[in-house]
Amino acid sequence: MQILKDKILKDGKAIGTDILKVDSFLNHQIDVKLMTEIGEEFKKRLYKEGVNKILTVEASGITVAFAAAQAMGNLPVVFAKKAAPKTMITGAYTAEIISFTKGTQTIIRVAKEFLKPGDKVLIIDDFLASGEAVLGLLNIVRQSGAECLGIGAVIEKEYQGGSAKLRAMGYNVESLAIISSIEDGKINFK
Amino acid sequence: MQILKDKILKDGKAIGTDILKVDSFLNHQIDVKLMTEIGEEFKKRLYKEGVNKILTVEASGITVAFAAAQAMGNLPVVFAKKAAPKTMITGAYTAEIISFTKGTQTIIRVAKEFLKPGDKVLIIDDFLASGEAVLGLLNIVRQSGAECLGIGAVIEKEYQGGSAKLRAMGYNVESLAIISSIEDGKINFK
């Protein structure tokens, strides 16, 4: 998606060989017009007959999932909530997400009433790196008896292997901007 | 806003004399069409010449702020991030929010680059109860030298006093559904 790549080059901040900060339009301040266009792009790339729900995880995933849901005829969005490990959780499907980069461990949960057998969901998130967050969401989808028909990310760091892992599992993965490497603050797209 | 009140009566879960759960359309699962209409309603009630930014706090505020920003000609949204107390925070305005109901203490922060003198913001959130979250956001607005031109909430629990406090400070407050009391699971609107 060219306008997204242009935006990343213009306003993204690459640090070292791994970190890309997009706080100015995606993760802290939100470029509303761009997000609405991103929603339309996800519709083009991922929508198929039968999809009835968008699943994401708080907080930055919510905007892109919402914009995609608008484009797909106002589908409901469900966002997984985060909780500290060892929090007592009832009435919900849970999964553990380990962030290798941050060295943190998070439990995500989705109330059982919002994900059911027969649901056909798209998983949409802001970033796809090692794929841990999506794997956690897939774990929850599996527990619920629902089905995942596709996975979308705004920005993929291809070199962290998440998309390869997910495609090897048979999933359709669409990332709107794919970064093949970051070198000394320079962003290289695939 | 009648369709919102109808939705609250149909799908909200009132518990005891205080708790209203709206997980099925606002806080966990999102009714995308309703949120888009809520955005339009905020425009009607709050928009004025010069407003250039919407400010909210993660996570549930993001959707309503985004929908309002779309209705107002794609204004940028800034969402304050939450951090545990004692987290080291640099380059950001911070404020402390104490939740009396939950007995928790949270630090919210907004990076200095996203809120500046001259900015004219609307603060929009999902719930307005005792007003602590909005007071925290106002504190940050004040620190930045920006100005708040209005405050919007989807659901107000009037009996917790937040809106009265904010109006006494001179702010324009608009809540789309105002609850005057909850009794034995029954919701009474103003």
Q: How far is B183 from chain A (nearest CA, A)?
A: 25
What tens-digit pLDDT sequence spans chain B (190 residues)? 999 999 999 999 998 888 899 999 999 999 999 999 999 999 999 999 999 999 999 999 999 999 999 999 999 999 999 987 677 778 999 999 987 767 788 999 999 999 999 999 999 999 999 999 999 999 999 999 999 999 999 999 999 999 999 999 999 999 999 999 999 889 999 9
Count other C-beta atoms under 10 Å from residue B173's C-beta.
Answer: 21
Interface test with B, best of A13, A26, A30 (most B CBs within 10 A): A30
Q: How far is A54 from chain B (nearest CA, A)?
A: 10
Please name the residue of chain A whose CA is at the shortest distance from the CA of residue B70. A32
Joined together, the tokens standing for residue A89 give 């959780």
**Cα–Cα–Cα angle for A148, A153, A59, nearest 5°?**
95
pLDDT in tens, A71-125: 999 999 999 999 876 677 789 999 999 877 677 889 999 999 999 999 999 999 9
Short-list B80, B81, B102, B60, CA closest to A78: B60
Please name the residue of chain B whose CA is at the shortest distance from the CA of residue A59. B59
The single-letter DSSP state of residue B114 is: G
**pTM to 2 decimal places:** 0.96
Contact A78 B30 (CB under 8 A): yes
Query: Which DSSP string do the residues of A33-57 spell out, in sequence order?
Result: HHHHHHHHHHHHHH--TT--EEEEE
Measured distance CA(B141)–CA(B118) in Å, rounded: 11
Contact A76 B113 (CB under 8 A): no
Measured distance CA(A164)–CA(B179) in Å, rounded: 50
Contact B79 A59 (CB under 8 A): yes
- Chain B, 32 to 71: residues with Cβ < 8 Å from chain A are 32-33, 35-36, 58-59, 62-63, 66-67, 69-70
Chain A contact for B15 (CB, 8 A cutoff): no
Chain B neighbors of A67, CB-CB under 8 A: 66
